[in-house]
A and B are shown apart, each in its own frame.
Chain A
Amino acid sequence: MNPTTSADHDEFVHPALLYRTDAEYLDLLVPFISDGLAAGDPVAVIVPGPRLRQLDAALGVSAERVHRIDMTVAGRNPGRIIPSVLHFADTHPGRHVRIVGEPVWPGRSATEYPACAQHEALVNTSFAGRDITIACPYDAAGLDPGTIADARATHPLVWEADQRYSSAEYAPDRVVARYNEPLHHSPADAHRHLIAAPTDLRPARRAIADRASALGLPAHRVADLELIATELATNSLVHADGPCELRVWSDGRDIVCEGRDTGRLTDPLAGRRPAKPSDNSGRGLLMINDLADLVRTYTSPQGTTIRAYLRVR
């Protein structure tokens, strides 16, 4: 069986590839990549490093023609995957683009996973109408059944080693809503700063930088945190038209910077569209997604909470 998509590429194709063994992984992906290269399609493979090496070995010299990226680095924060893939697609206008994207792997933490699932769901609206295929491998043997059920809800198509079918469970909006989970429990020792006016930004930024340094964040990441904290609070002042409470703490593995305001985030794709040169409106969330190792969001009619995580160890 030829496991590639049909020759008629005029719409977005987004299958979940459920594999159970290394052999199935290669059987599903190598033809998809090779056929793309043979057709002259731009191909990008964004998967965890060990999987990248398996594909490299199987593809041989043609691997050099594939844009290869380690997902555990580039996509550590799932919130920055869509902008980078859109950017890749935009650099090949008028061409059918093939992407292999594996943002979920065994080892993703419980804190990371909701952002991964929302990312997968939002891919559908982000690429709707584009001439692109994004194939997302899922390790059906290593991931828990709930994750595989989510994959069936976030992908309109399912490809397995021996069959392909439309997903009867496809319901991406429900996944976005389900993982819009309240973010409680910032620790009692979190440092808090109320940003009620633009002049509050500078002193809060300095205090947050000092706190993060004391908590072990390296200097170059402290600079990123200063930008994250400022962009979070600026977003509240500009878009929520109200104050922002910034909280900073360490959870042992990450420095967490949280912004709370009373605005509601109505655009689920905010922070996931690449900036257009002509568009000078706020790009704060895009900045935060790029700088942080993970971004979690909870929005409701009562307000919005955004947490940015910066890995310390």
Chain B
Amino acid sequence: MKLINLFKIAIAAIKRNKMRSFLTMLGIVIGVGAVITMLAIGQGSNESIKSSISSMGTNLINVMPASMNRGGVQQGRTASQSLEEKDVYYLQKNCTLIDAVSPEMRSSGQVVFGSKNWPTDVGGGNEDYAVIKKYEIATGRFYTHQEIKSAAKVCVLGQTIVKNVFGEDADPIGQSIRFNNIPFKVIGTFKEKGNNTFGQDQDDMILMPYSTIMKRITRETHLRSIVISAKYEDKITETSTEIEELLRQSHKLKEAEDNDFDIRTQEELISNFSSISQMLLVLLGSISAISLVVGGIGIMNIMYVSVTERTREIGLRLAIGGKGKDILMQFLLEAILLSVIGGLIGVLLGYIVSNTIEGIMNWPILITTDSVLLSFIVCTFIGVFFGWYPARKASALDPIVALRHE
């Protein structure tokens, strides 16, 4: 039989039974659409939880100098001078599992502007510092590489400082403040971060280049610490091992020597996060599995019924010269056409519904190529399979029996 005739027969059969074709397609449309929407909501929530947890800094790794023992007296951390700028460059160059690395300097003192003053902390790193510590610029800009190199007297203010020193609604950009009697030009402010897990106000902070703090405020030659953001939240242990090895190389430590630094990670946060993430994964997996099964059963039923219902038609086609193969091909083609068209409409529906939900309910959604492909392929496959299976049985029927079918 010619393929073109087969197409004609299949398309005519689909058109002839518009309602049944529509219902069959609807099963697939809903199946695909529902799975895509479910996964979009699930993955969206997962992403948003992930990002809110990681904003707490699960990927943050701190390296501090180890406390040294001098003549039996344990020294404070700041006294030991084991971390240097070259360690930062060394890590930047060689560490594969990190996103960004920055030196960190800290100091505290009184900030003065006009007649107002406020006790606060200053902190600083290189140009990646804001990214690592998740500070976002609200107005103005962050300091540049050039300003770090020249230890420029510039600063970025937290909102608490802006409120207390400049007052609400004031624009501090371009103004000059004094810290420890040194004037600094305000080049930007960062968005409110709120309190951290320990109740500390994270907006009561002034950021400036670490070189400025080192050279102009504390006059130190060594780094207080190095902050690092790891590339993968689930590989913190590996990352910290890599950092340890690299720093030992950089410090030229021998096998027998102890580390002259400490590495700290946010292990508790990480383990919390991974258990939440795992739970979400299981939840998501079961939701999509159930959706796929339910959608699949719907498709299966309607396909099965639609073939059974047409047994007499099959009998007639066999009687007037159709071969079993022709019948099978016709039904298979019908199933493929319905499933593929239904699947495509389902993908479209999934996108529309997901975006509507995002728009109306303000839920975070995330549609991934994987979820679209998975639902489309599974539903289409089920549609084609359950179109093919009863059709195969029908095509093997005795024409007399098929003709007599009521």
- Chains A and B bind each other: no
* A-to-B contact residues, CB < 8 Å: none
